[in-house]
Amino acid sequence: MCMSFFFCTFAPDLDSITKSYTNNYINSISMKKILTLCVAVLIAATTVSAKDYKHSVGLVGGLGVGAQYKTMVANHFTIIAELGYFTCPDGGEGWGYVGAPIANGVFAYQTGALAEGNGVKLSVYAGGQIKAGYCFDEFDGLGLVGAGAAAGIEVNMTNAPIAFSFDFRPGYAMTFGKIAGRINTYHQFDYSINVGVRYTF
């Protein structure tokens, strides 16, 4: 029988407190294990040598954003494939074709290391590119094909499996399709400046 109404009504539930403390303690241990595992994976990744990679995957941004895959082939040649949502040339008419799913392909010669030190390796590459896609706005859609040149710099982290690229791609693009009931073809010289970051393996 309770000696005090206040104590009986508002006394803490020791069993609930004990269970809550135990659960919090177990959760904290689990979080510590997860954090420890994440740190271990990060350390392992950053200790992998990435001097001579064969493949790499990541993201590229410039006049849009997309996924990028790069592979090294024999004799310093490299192939870059991209698929993303990029700005589409509009033939200079200002129709507002600002976005398009576009696939890019680059075939280039890449030098060996021109400079290496402080955990980075610097090389350059140059070659040609082709692209194809579909441009659209709220009213119309146009097909797109194009070709051009590509030249850039790659910075490869020698103490981590990461590579950065910076390139310039001038070229020619043709858009074609039916607008206002007519088949139209538009030609335009365009260019893009792109930045890529990739995981190498």
Give 52 or 51, the one with higher predicted confidence. 52
Band (pLDDT 50/70/90 cuts) for residue 129 is: very high
User: What pLDDT does 99 receive?
Assistant: 67
Q: What percent of the chain shows pLDDT beyond 90?
A: 47
- Which of 41-50, 90-99, 158-167, 192-201 is the least confident region? 41-50
pLDDT tens readout for residues 157-169: 999 999 999 999 9
- Segment 53-110, tens digit of pLDDT: 999 999 999 888 999 999 999 889 999 999 999 887 655 555 555 568 999 999 999 9
Q: Residue 99: how many CB atoms within 10 A of its CB? A: 15
Instruction: Print the SS3 string covering 135-169.
Output: EECCCCEEEEEEEEEEEEEEEEECCCCEEEEEEEE
Q: 117 pLDDT exceeds 80?
A: yes
**Model pTM score:** 0.71
User: What pLDDT sits at residue 49?
Assistant: 45
Buried b or exposed e, range 130-169, using 16+ CB within 10 angstroms: ebebebbeeeeebebebebbbebebebbbebbbbebebeb
Token digits of residue 169: 């791609």
Band (36; pLDDT cuts 50, 70, 90): low
**Mean pLDDT throughout 117-127?**
95
| Region 133-141 average pLDDT | 78
Is the pLDDT at 21 greater than 60, yes or no?
Answer: no
Tokens at residue 131, please? 């692209």
